[in-house]
Amino acid sequence: MLATWRLVLANLRKGPWQTAGLAGFVTLAALMANLGLMFTMVYPHALDDQARAAGTPWLSVFEPDGSYSDAQVSWLLDQPGVDAVEHADVLVPDKTTVRFHDGPEDKVQAFVADADAASGREAVRLHDGGKPLTDDGVWLPYLYEVVYGWQVGDEFTFDFGSSVVRLQVCGFTDEIPFGSYGNVWHRFYVASSTYGQLADELPRWAHLKVYTDTPERADTLMYEVLDQFDGVNVFSYTPTKEDRLFMARVLATVILAFSIVVVAVSLLVVRFRVVASIEESMSNIGTLKALGYTSGQIAGSLLGQFGLVTLVGSAAGVAGSYAVLPLVAGRLEAQSAVVWTPGFAPLPALAAVAVVAGTALAVTGVVVVRIRRLGALTSLRTGLTVHSFKHNRFPLDRTAGPLTWLLAAKSAVAAKAQTVTIGLVVAGVTVMGTVTAATYENIGADPANLVDVIGVELPDVHADGDPEAIAELQVDLASRDGVRALFAYTDGIPLPDSSWPVVSTDDFSVTEGHMLCQGRWPQHANEVAVNWQLARTNGRGIGDTWGFIIDGTVQEYLVTGLIQTVESTQTVALTTDGVRRLLPDHQHDMLYVYLDDPADADAVAADIRRGWADRGVHASTDAKTMTARMAPFGPVVSTVTAVVLAVSVTIIVLVVSLVMSMAVRRSRRRFGVQKAVGFTNRQLVAQTTATYLPTVAVGAAVGSTVGCYAFPPFMDALFRTMDIYTTAMRTSAGTTAVLVVALVALGLAAALAATARIRRITPYSLVTE
Amino acid sequence: MTNPILTTHQLSKTFSTAGVQKHVLRNLDMEIRAGDYTVVMGASGSGKSTLLYALSGMDRPTLGDVTFAGQHLASMSESALARFRRNHCGFVFQQVYLLDTMSIMDNVLAAGLLVSNDRKALAARAAELFDQVKVADDTRTKFPAQVSGGEAQRAGVVRALINSPTVLFADEPTGSLDQTSGTAVLDVLTDVHTSGQTVVMVTHDLKSARRGERVLYLRDGAIVGDLDLGPFTSDDDTDRNDTLRGFLVEMGW
């Protein structure tokens, strides 16, 4: 054992830079692995912890005060797994308009709670910097600080109906807003005096906080409540959690996928290093065997050497990930309002170390087995040969081309293993680089794109109100300069005997969103497009019929296409004539307006408000609002893109440097001979670089091509969790080309730097070696 | 007496190891004449190989200079020295140093293609040289690890001659060969010299040394003996052998 350990130390001393390079790889692999695991395994629990600390009930039932009864509470308490039910009075405006700080307005579902009456489990928990509530003060969800941009001390206004409420921001609460995309309920805490004043204008509702033993129990109970209680809004924690964690899940998936690539790369490098180590130590192995060392002892020394390096490297990687985690968590907090201070988590750390170091050790074990097959004399005399003697590739007397390239081709073929290693590494890194760059381009560079590509119809200006007024407004705006397109629309027509929200317009071909995911829009009164999940659940597809029951009669429609809507599995689309088969008097109550210059949206909306408010028409700037909502996505994606690209660059530099420096070291004699017969330094540098550059170029080209093809299905798979069947995310040829050129240039620079030592090799060293 | 093609002026070479300086060549002035077969002898560490590599521009002297046809090697750049070696020098090493990733033929052509792009002419000249040194056709396509030491060394000679060098340098060319293979290599060197090739050979082998026309003896980095043996005729020339042996005894060999 002692003898083996001494060999381990001797091996480590032999090539400190190679050891450090290898450790660097393993460090990167473990860093990425632990980052991905932390966001997958720990981050969701941070949200749970935040919810628990805030006393968030796993199920919230909102019902108009008139329908609330003690019997309902008793029924809830009788349900399995329900620990407690608490009741609070809240004020629920029909629709609330809030504003981004110095930005556009946003329509949200807000509800007002009396902070002085807050009691029970759901105590108010203020975020850092909060102040006591004054009579004219308000505590807002933390979301309003990080996403909407409000600060303590600002004057915050919200509108409902024709009333405007002005309050001073006193702080932000750490609570998790209820609901998910498109239907998130924001709670504003006000003082008793303000609450009393608002109660005169706003309807009073009951908020039943149902505490179940597990969130999953609440998910089940939610459907039973919907069956039992009429006219209620019910929120369970799980969809809220999914909504809050969506971006983190995207990031974790990207990081985990990338970490798999990095781990695979590090395994290739480990294998390459172990093989090289055996080849370089061949005569030493022969000597050791001649001295009486067993194959097991010698193999053990290599296992010990590489085991130690990978163990230390992966531990360092896990430690290093804790330096990156706060950066990414901070960016995520600005998007999700989820407060997470990453602490040491032993399980992901152990998993990262086990996967990285364990697989590296396994690869080492597989490779060192060959030592058993080496006899002492074989090792001493010949050793292993790294090239094939079977074929003389590119014979110089019969192959045309510059000498440098021919010799480079010979070297590349002779060292197939390292050529393939470099190619695979560069390809793998380029795949992830392409995917990450495309993610940045589709989401990070302009987060508003996210909306465009995932099935939301987003006009520059959205007007809604009385159908007759909307019809007149449509005529009025059609002749206005700067209006590019407009159409009347309906979103969510209530149909009797149907729980499917219906969207409708005269001609869907003028819509600009990415709602249609298969087939075509309905064009005639007897055609329908159905949500892809709804169709799947009902065993229907394009070409099948779809029935609506009206007054006990089934009206059948032909399914022409499948549509997708964020976090909705129920929507169906009908033409105006199609709706009128069911509701003959139906008229659209919305107008979607698209402008030549979206920057004019505020002015157009203001004009509509000025001229049509007395007709009950309200106007909003949807695209601008959504852009503001999506803005926090940009920094998150940018940060992850920066991390992934930085790691990609480091990997390529490390791999090329490691392989090139090893190649130069192992080829000292060859270079000495070549110099002796008249090769110049420049020729040798060019020859060595040319040996690997085509491999780097091919690897980058293959990787980018795979990345381009893999990106859309990768994003589609991610967005399926948000009920989006397919996104319109695509890779850009320009960006991909720039990435490939940059990676090849980087590889070339690293190669040139690594080959600088060729200049220090002299032909005379042949004699002195 | 022919004109000198290589001349050294106050040539000195000093190595430093762990702060200790070793003067391998000391203010050496000498000439290599065109068409000569010069043999350099001396005890181990006397500076024989160092002199050979300084003469061929493979190593730079610490002081002094080597002049080739009026050009000062000391003032040449690394690239210029490389061009000097490819155009004017051929090397035969004791360890052969064929590139193990290339066939025998490619080893030769890799050197030839540095000077000429005429593959056909190069291949023809290589074939001619291979015939001359008696390397069989099927051996030429083999890799160095697949041929005998003698074949490899003869291939090394072909590589050294492919560009028709001005001077052929040989550093202990028979040092790692058995007697039969060594004699074959010496015969090749003698043959090419007979056809006009200038040869400079370092050796400590008496049998090799008697192939030369001129024998220089180095001791402590200085030339202490210079013997003119005249043209080699055969190994059985006892007068020539006695003259050389006497010279070496006198030199303290």
8 Å CB contact of A677 and B159? yes
Q: What is the ipTM of this complex?
A: 0.81
Predicted confidence at residue A38, as pLDDT, reads 92
Question: Which of B161, B155, B200, B153 lies closest to B181, judged by CA?
Answer: B153
Query: Between A383 and A311, whose confidence is greater?
Result: A311
Average confidence (pLDDT) over A100-113: 83
In a mutational test of the B interface, the residue from A397, A679, A684, A758 whose CB has the highest number of chain B CBs within 10 Å is A397
Long-range contacts of range A695-698, CB-CB < 8 Å, 24 or more positions apart?
A695/A412, A695/A419, A695/A422, A695/A423, A695/A426, A696/A422, A696/A423, A696/A426, A696/A652, A696/A656, A696/A743, A696/A744, A696/A747, A696/A748, A696/A751, A697/A740, A697/A744, A698/A423
Is residue A215 pLDDT above 70, yes or no? yes
Interval A99-111 mean pLDDT = 82
At which residue do the structure tokens 């995309």 appear?
A: A181
Suggest the residue from B15, B83, B102 to mutate for an interface test with chain A (most A CBs closer than 10 A): B102
The 10 Å Cβ neighbour count of residue A702 is 17
Q: How close A674 gets to chain B, by Cα (Å)?
A: 8
Query: Which residues from chain A sit within 8 angstroms of residue B79, using beta carbons?
Result: 680-682
> Do the chains contact at B79 and A676, CB–CB below 8 Å?
no
Contacts of B123 in chain A (CB under 8 A): 397
Q: What pLDDT, on a 0 to 100 scale, did the predictor assign at position A384?
A: 40
How high is the mean pLDDT of chain A?
Answer: 85
Are B86 and A678 inside 8 Å of each other by CB? yes
CA of A685, closest CA in chain B: separation in Å? Answer: 13
Cβ–Cβ below 8 Å for A397 and B105: yes
Q: Chain B window 71-110: which residues touch A at a Cβ cutoff of 8 Å? A: 78-79, 82-83, 85-87, 89, 91, 93, 95, 97-103, 105-106, 109-110
Query: How near does any CA of chain A get to the CA of B234, in Å?
Result: 31
Residue in the structure block whose two tokens are 């901070």: A330
pLDDT tens by residue, A123-135:
788 888 888 999 9
Nearest to residue A719, comparing CAs of A332, A253, A261, A260? A253
Tokens at residue A481, please? 């300069």
Cβ <8 Å between A670 and B99 = yes
Mean pLDDT of A641-661: 81
- Put simply, the answer to whether B110 touches A396 (Cβ < 8 Å) is yes
What residues of A are in contact with residue B175 (Cβ under 8 Å)? none
- Report how far apart, in Å, the C-alpha atoms of A566 and of each of A183, A440, A539, B136 are: 11, 21, 21, 78
* Chain A residues with CB-CB distance to B159 below 8 A: 677
Residue-wise pLDDT for A707-733, tens only, equals: 999 888 888 887 777 677 888 778 888
Task: Please check whether residue A769 touches B, CB under 8 A.
Answer: no
**A508-559 pLDDT, tens per residue?**
999 988 889 899 999 999 999 999 988 998 899 999 999 888 777 888 999 9
Q: Is the Cβ pair A762, B59 closer than 8 Å?
A: yes
Q: Express each pLDDT in B18-77 by its tens digit.
A: 778 888 899 999 999 999 999 999 998 889 989 998 999 888 899 999 999 889 999 998
B188–chain A nearest CA distance, Å = 20
**Residue A304 clears pLDDT 90, i.e. is over it:** no
* A540 exposure class (CB count in 10 Å sphere: 0-12, 13-18, 19+): middle
Compute the half-sphere exposure of residue A87: CA atoms within 13 Å on the CB side of its CA: 16
Closest-CA residue to A321 (of A309, A331, A329, A332): A329
- Pick the more confident residue, A755 or B192: B192
Of B78, B101, B115, the CB nearest to A387: B101
Measure the CA–CA gap between A143 and A748, rounded to whole angstroms.
47
If we measure between CA atoms, which residue out of B24, B4, B6 comes closest to residue B15? B24
Chain A residues within an 8 Å CB radius of B109: 396-397
Give the max Cα distance, chain B.
Answer: 53
- The nearest alpha carbon in chain B to A673 belongs to B97
pLDDT (tens digit per residue) in B156-210: 999 999 999 999 999 999 888 888 888 988 999 999 999 999 999 999 899 999 9
CA dist A385 and A302 (Å) reads 19
Indicate whether this model's pTM tops 0.95: no
Averaged pLDDT, A92-99: 83
Give the residue-averaged pLDDT of B68-92: 91
Q: Cβ contact (<8 Å) for A395 and B95?
A: no
Are the beta carbons of B102 and A392 separated by less than 8 Å?
Answer: yes
Q: Which residue has the tokens 């002492």?
A: A376
Three-class SS of residue A549? strand
CB pair distance less than 8 Å for B145 and A382: yes
Q: Answer yes or no: do B145 and A414 touch at CB < 8 A.
A: no
Q: Do B78 and A673 touch (CB under 8 A)?
A: no
Band (A379; pLDDT cuts 50, 70, 90): low
Nearest-Cα residue of chain A relative to residue B87: A678
Q: Does B146 touch chain A (CB under 8 A)?
A: yes
Contact residues, chain B, for A403 at CB < 8 Å: 110, 113-114
A381 touches B: beta carbon within 8 Å = no
Radius of gyration of chain A (CA): 33
Q: Do B53 and A674 touch (CB under 8 A)?
A: no
CB within 8 Å: A678 and B91:
no
Provide the phi-psi class of A678: left if phi over 0, else alpha when psi is between -120 and 50, else beta.
Answer: left
Taking CA A50 as the corner, what is the angle to CA A47 and CA A53, rounded to the nearest 5 degrees?
150
CA distance A753 to chain B (A): 19
For A674, which residue in chain B has the nearest alpha carbon? Answer: B111
Residue A55, phi then psi, degrees to nearest 5: 70, 25
